[in-house]
Amino acid sequence: MKPKNQIVTRRHLLLTVSYSLVLSTFLFGSEQPVKSTQKQEQASTFNTSPTKIAARDAKVIKVVRSKQLTALAILEKQGTLKKRLESLGYKLEWPEFAAGPQQLEALNAGGLDIASTAESPPVFAQAAGTPLVYLATTSANARSVSLVVPVNSPIKSVKDLKGKKVAFQKASIGHYLLLKALEKNGFKLSDVESVYLPPPDANIAFNQGKVDAWFIWEPFVTRNVQQKVGRVLIDGSNLRDTGNFYSTTKQFYKNNPQVIKVFLEELQKAENWGKKYPKETAKLLTTATQLDVPTLEKMHGKYDWDLRPITEKVIKKQQEVADKWYSLGLIPRKVNVRDGFLTPKQYAEITPQEVLAKK
């Protein structure tokens, strides 16, 4: 007999499937390049029960697999989070997604419990009505995101991008930093041809010479430079003043505060380990990245390995991001990001003391 909270009525299932289909089409469209005036929407639900149960019936916790292969990747490889959650009666899975927007669509639809994205995807998700909760943030790690161009491209500066095709994942850090880079040089997003592509598709388009530039994160940057396909035009230095966010849904937070607390504790340990043991970290992740140890050490040197608490300053900066997207007409309504943040007391209950001390 299934618990009541796991019974899904036929009507609810049909509505959920229909909504997801509409949402996917709306958010990502076809795989063809689209213009930057489309709006995004996301949807969903999630139920959990944090009780201790038999291993074969263990509640599955889904934490996103790292795409940037730093602390989250260490956490998965070392297995420490898995062991702690198993002791509480949970089973851990690591689903993988192309980028932040896809993560938050899955989060909203119940296919993911804890996401890791840059600053913009949560804003777009909140604008679409996602019941999002921001859990923690990171330092900017600005050098880990770069605008790359083909190795023999005549493009020498951001000003040379005018009228060119620039690929990036819509609502991602690449989108946001391209906007900031253009504005810094007196241009607008409309001065370039925006090509919305998720990283795997953008990688193919870039390698085939179908786009003139690509704003992307590691390890894509290092791989393309190492293979002499691309070169870095600029990185996020002097552009990025926001960090990444770990997030969940309000329902998951309400039902699983202990899981979140354990996750953040183990994540902070992984951050410390990665910072203290760079060579060991590189060795641990060579298989996942298909990069050698020296290259990985160089790549990981772009990160600060720093989990940070949610503060009033962080909330205000995130509101600035939301207001920027709204002013450009890229989200359908004005977002009050504070709706997704907890109270200081609630953060104190789930955030490691070592992280809280960084305030």
Which domain-ending residue is among 172, 204, 235?
Answer: 235
Does residue 217 sit in the same domain as residue 228?
A: yes
Does residue 93 sit in the same domain as residue 148?
A: no
Q: Strand pairing partners for 210?
A: none
Q: What CATH number is associated with residue 223?
A: 3.40.190.10
Does residue 253 sit in the same domain as residue 264?
A: yes
Question: What pLDDT, on the 0 to 100 scale, is given for residue 113?
Answer: 98
For 44, 111, 249, 326, 348, the CA distances from 129, given in Å and listed in that order, are: 9, 17, 11, 15, 26
Number of domains in the chain: 2
Question: Is 0.85 surpassed by the pTM of this model?
Answer: no
Does residue 26 sit in the same domain as residue 135?
A: yes
Question: What pLDDT, on the 0 to 100 scale, is given for residue 277?
Answer: 96
Does residue 262 sit in the same domain as residue 344?
A: yes
Which domain-ending residue is among 214, 235, 256?
Answer: 235
Does residue 149 sit in the same domain as residue 229?
A: yes
Question: What pLDDT, on the 0 to 100 scale, is given for residue 57?
Answer: 61
pLDDT tens for each residue of 90-113? 999 999 999 999 999 999 999 999
Rounded to whole angstroms, how far apart are CA atoms 166 and 158? 11
Question: What pLDDT, on the 0 to 100 scale, is given for residue 68?
Answer: 64
Does residue 133 sit in the same domain as residue 184?
A: no
Reduced to 3 states (helix: H, G, I; strand: E, B; else coil), residue 90 is strand
Q: Which residues contact 305 (CB under 8 A, 6 or more apart)?
A: 70, 71, 271, 272, 274, 275
Question: What pLDDT, on the 0 to 100 scale, is given for residue 40?
Answer: 35
Does residue 22 sit in the same domain as residue 124?
A: yes
Contact 310, 359 (CB under 8 A): no
Contact 240, 177 (CB under 8 A): yes
For 3, 302, 322, 337, 339, the CA distances from 316, given in Å and listed in that order, are: 41, 26, 10, 9, 12
Contact 130, 107 (CB under 8 A): yes
Which domain-ending residue is among 201, 235, 269?
Answer: 235
Domain span at residue 309 reads 4-140+243-356
Question: What pLDDT, on the 0 to 100 scale, is given for residue 69?
Answer: 74
Does residue 256 sit in the same domain as residue 122?
A: yes
Residues of the chain with pLDDT under 70: 1-58, 67-68
